[in-house]
Amino acid sequence: KGPDPDIPLITARLSGIKHKVLILSGKGGVGKSTFTSLLAHAFASNPEKTVGIMDTDICGPSIPKMMGVENETIHTYAGGWSPVWVLDNLGVMSIQFMLPNKDDAIIWRGPKKNGLIKQFLKDVEWGEMDFLLVDTPPGTSDEHLSVNSFLKESGVDGAVMLTTPQEVALLDVRKEIDFCRKAGIKILGIVENMSGFVCPKCTHESQIFEATTGGARALAKEINIPFLGAVPLDPRIGMASDYGESFFDSWPDSPACKALKGVVN
């Protein structure tokens, strides 16, 4: 089998994007999509930067709801598909936009998922952009292999790993790290989400997973990759996600947003 003829088309299409970053997690529910949304808003808070999120979680896309655009549909034009713009400098693309009914289950096997991811990469017109954040499903599945093989030529900066402090989540992140090493994906660093709990009333921070809080930092040290920061559990984050509001813009001084500013810088 010869080289995939679509790869040069993908590379050309993404050539205006300065940084492409994969957001990975070993486990589901650790806050990967939430973190992707927060990070996108954090980057977009600089009006001179343009940011995109590509949601490749085909079976459980949650980015459109978190970004407040779940009822949008895809816009096609002669040049391809345009992302849904949440802000002037923040665009989103998700399979959710292509579904006639957002509650429909997507039951697809690998080749079909592969085809859709290829189409996303080949046909979405992101234009000139500073950051493209690629939200992936948990674990190491077909979607990861597809994204990696299609993006190899266009140059991915690397992957940010999301975990929570619990040992079960840390175990899975080790597998994800192994996947990246085998697939030749650079690991930009680890973020510990739900690390501690900030009481919105008294602002005291409690360690819910006391024995393992800081586990991601220790893991990063052990395997010699950067620890990018710790985002605490904050009930306002869950609420903002459910209402599709930007937590980053509503609570810029919260401990979570301070941690995010650290990641962005």
| Binding interface with ligand ADP (CB under 6 A) | 25, 28-34, 62, 193-194, 231, 233-234, 237-238, 241, 256
Which residue, judged by CB position, is nearest to ligand ADP in the bound state?
31
Of all helices (H) and strands (E), which one includes residue 264?
helix 255-264
Does 59 count as an annotated binding residue? Answer: no
Tell the residue number behind the tokens 């509650």, with chain if given. 103
> In 207-260, at which residue ranges do the beta strands (DSSP E only) sit?
227-233
SS3 state of residue 166: coil
- C-alpha torsion 208→216→261→178, nearest 10: -140
Does 49 count as an annotated binding residue? Answer: no
Q: Which is nearer to ligand ADP, 29 or 111 (CB)?
A: 29
Tell the residue number behind the tokens 């990246």, with chain if given. 180
Q: Which is nearer to ligand ADP, 14 or 30 (CB)?
A: 30
Does 68 count as an annotated binding residue? Answer: no
Does 60 count as an annotated binding residue? Answer: no
SS3 state of residue 229: strand
Q: Which is nearer to ligand ADP, 155 or 200 (CB)?
A: 200
- From 93, 91, 102, select the one nearest 129 (Cα to Cα): 91
Q: How far is the CB of 16 from ligand ADP (least distance, A)?
A: 27
Which residues contact residue 182 at a Cβ distance below 8 angstroms, ignoring those fewer than 6 apart?
none
Q: Which is nearer to ligand ADP, 32 or 122 (CB)?
A: 32
Q: How far is the CB of 38 from ligand ADP (least distance, A)?
A: 8
Q: How far is the CB of 176 from ligand ADP (least distance, A)?
A: 12
Distance separating alpha carbons of residues 146 and 143, to the nearest angstrom: 5
Does 32 count as an annotated binding residue? Answer: yes
Does 65 count as an annotated binding residue? Answer: no
Q: Which residues pair with 80 in a beta bridge?
A: 77
Q: Which is nearer to ligand ADP, 124 or 194 (CB)?
A: 194
Q: How far is the CB of 65 from ligand ADP (least distance, A)?
A: 9
- From 101, 42, 74, select the one nearest 261 (Cα to Cα): 42
Q: How far is the CB of 109 from ligand ADP (least distance, A)?
A: 22
List residues forming the annotated binding site: 26-33, 199, 202
List residues forming the annotated binding site for [4Fe-4S] cluster: 199, 202
